[in-house]
Structure 1
Amino acid sequence: MDSTTPLPATAQTVSSPFDLVIAGGPVVWLLIAMSVVALTIIIYKLVQFAVAGLARRNNVEKAVSLFRDGRKREALAAVQGAKDPASATVATAIRGSLRSDVTEAAVREEVERVASSEINTLRSHIGLLEIIGSLAPLLGLLGTVLGMIEAFRAMEAAGRNVDPAILSGGIWAALLTTAAGLIVAIPVVAVANWFDRSILLVARRTEDAVTRIFTPDLTRRTESAPDEIRAATA
């Protein structure tokens, strides 16, 4: 609530959403600006996730299966050019395995670097969303406190002639900023958490695919069941 605005003005009848913004004062304007920034980031991230094809998994699974069958070049072709982190990381691992002049340790280090870079790219700007989600309710509360101070200051100045309508109008306008802060914060926090969850799943899927590239498939039977039992107990 703007401390320079006379209290009776905030108690006027609200006839439009713009009147709510005016009644809320500078804090509401700041929250609107933060909501615009948050909406821009959310749209950008949704487009980024869609372009990267985070929901696609078949190409990675196909590449890992082909690689374990010894068809390395076909495996590389399955993920070549894909933009999602799992495909890019698996492609790096397969390329490294095809080069005889590079040690496995060097390949693993490069794969780790690529995976980290891809995940960090997905996480870009999400930190700003989290900041907005944290600050919005605090700003709303600050606006309410300032509005309440102004309302009681006006009541004190009126002395015995205080008008309850003026006081209630001032309190109503003060509480408006808290509501605005929560309206901004709740969807922003929810979307930011969804982004974080999606990125975590991508990171786990990438780690799983890379691990299967560097390790043999122990789930496949290489001999009959009785032979496996005798080999295990020998």
Structure 2
Amino acid sequence: MNLFENPILRIKEFIGVGGPVVALLLCLSVIALAVILYKAWQFSALRVGKGQRTLAVLADKQDIARGHAVEKLGGMSGYSARMATYAIGLKQAEDNQTYKRSDIEEALALAAATQIKSLQSGFRALDSIAQIAPLIGLFGTVLGMITAFQALQQSGTSVDPSVLAGGIWVALLTTAVGLAVAMPTSIALTYFESRVEDHRLALEQIIAAILSPVASGAGRNSTPITVPQTQQAVHAH
């Protein structure tokens, strides 16, 4: 019998061998998988880190001034296009002297920070699982080794090496499961973080492309808007 013939039975047998520690690690793996699948869908739907099309639309300054860029952006999906449309609206409001430049920069920084914060949701859960899964596995191994050596002590002089070896491999099983859960979770988290950094850079380029004509046309000094770090790096390993 292999895993695919009766997966539920095999999982029960696996938990029976590894004990509650393996059961806990399997629960963490299910949570991590659910978060990873959700983030993958979210990043794909919002086109995170793919702002090249938006920047291409904004390359023509005359289109921005005439409002043609908004029409083109209306047919595009994703966070980058939304930010560009919002920034163009604020730029037009500044041209009409409805808002001050400082208010526009503050509004754009807040909008960008909100986007980044939304994209980083779930990162702490993945980071926690990546860090705690090996520790839980090691804890299970320590408990298993204690049990194995207790059995060795009770056996006295009639020591059966196969019994000791069996107890040791069962104890090491929890560490292996913990690492198996932590490694793909850590890789997925690193990938998502890199996509968020790409999106942050795209937002800064979009905002600069829209606001720079305003600053140069009005003859005012302008400082580039830096998208704030809404969360410190959660993946430090």
Question: Do both proteins adopt the same fold according to a TM-score greater than 0.5, normalized to the shorter chain?
Answer: yes
Comparing 80-89 with 96-105, which one deviates more in the overlay? 80-89
Match of 1:95 in 2: 89
> Match for 1:76: what amino acid?
V
Match of 2:22 in 1: 28
> Match for 1:134: what amino acid?
Q
Cα pair distance change 1:53/1:70, threshold 3 Å: closer
> Match for 1:27: what amino acid?
V
What is the rounded CA distance, in whole Å, between the counterparts of 2:62 and 2:179 in structure 1? 52
After superposition, the C-alpha distances for 1:77-136 in whole angstroms (9 at most, x for unaligned) are 222375533222222211011112111111111111111101111111121011101111
Deviation at 1:62, TM superposition (A): 3.4
Match of 1:7 in 2: none
| % identical equivalent positions | 33
Aligned with 2:156: secondary structure?
Answer: helix
Counterparts of 1:169-188 in structure 2, within 5 Å, are 169-188=166-185
Q: 1:200 aligns with which of 197, 200, 216?
A: 197
Cα pair distance change 1:168/1:58, threshold 3 Å: closer
Aligned with 1:187: secondary structure?
Answer: helix
Match of 2:58 in 1: 64
What is the rounded CA distance, in whole Å, between the counterparts of 1:17 and 1:188 in structure 2? 21
> Match for 2:202: what amino acid?
R
Match of 2:31 in 1: 37
> Match for 2:36: what amino acid?
I
8 Å contact from structure 1 (residues 63, 76) kept in 2:
no
Deviation at 1:54, TM superposition (A): 2.6
Match of 1:166 in 2: 163
TM-score between both structures, scaled by the size of structure 1: 0.80
Structure 2 gaps, min length 5: 1-8, 215-237
What is the rounded CA distance, in whole Å, between the counterparts of 2:185 and 2:83 in structure 1? 30
Aligned with 1:54: secondary structure?
Answer: coil
8 Å contact from structure 1 (residues 24, 177) kept in 2:
yes
Match of 1:3 in 2: none
1:215 aligns with 2:209: no
1:143 aligns with 2:124: no
What is the rounded CA distance, in whole Å, between the counterparts of 2:30 and 2:41 in structure 1? 17
Structure 1: 4+ residue segments shifted above 6 A:
none
What is the rounded CA distance, in whole Å, between the counterparts of 1:110 and 1:82 in structure 2? 22
1:86 aligns with 2:83: no
8 Å contact from structure 1 (residues 52, 84) kept in 2:
yes
Cα pair distance change 1:116/1:82, threshold 3 Å: farther
Larger Rg: 1
Match of 1:190 in 2: 187
What is the rounded CA distance, in whole Å, between the counterparts of 2:76 and 2:105 in structure 1? 20
> Match for 1:103: what amino acid?
K
What is the rounded CA distance, in whole Å, between the counterparts of 1:70 and 1:135 in structure 2? 50
After superposition, the C-alpha distances for 1:34-84 in whole angstroms (9 at most, x for unaligned) are 000011111111111121123643541233223455534112222237553
Cα pair distance change 1:106/1:81, threshold 3 Å: farther
What is the rounded CA distance, in whole Å, between the counterparts of 1:209 and 1:40 in structure 2? 32
What is the rounded CA distance, in whole Å, between the counterparts of 2:15 and 2:146 in structure 1? 19
Structure 1 gaps, min length 5: 1-14, 218-234
Deviation at 1:141, TM superposition (A): 0.6
The size of the alignment, in residue pairs, is: 203
Deviation at 1:18, TM superposition (A): 4.2
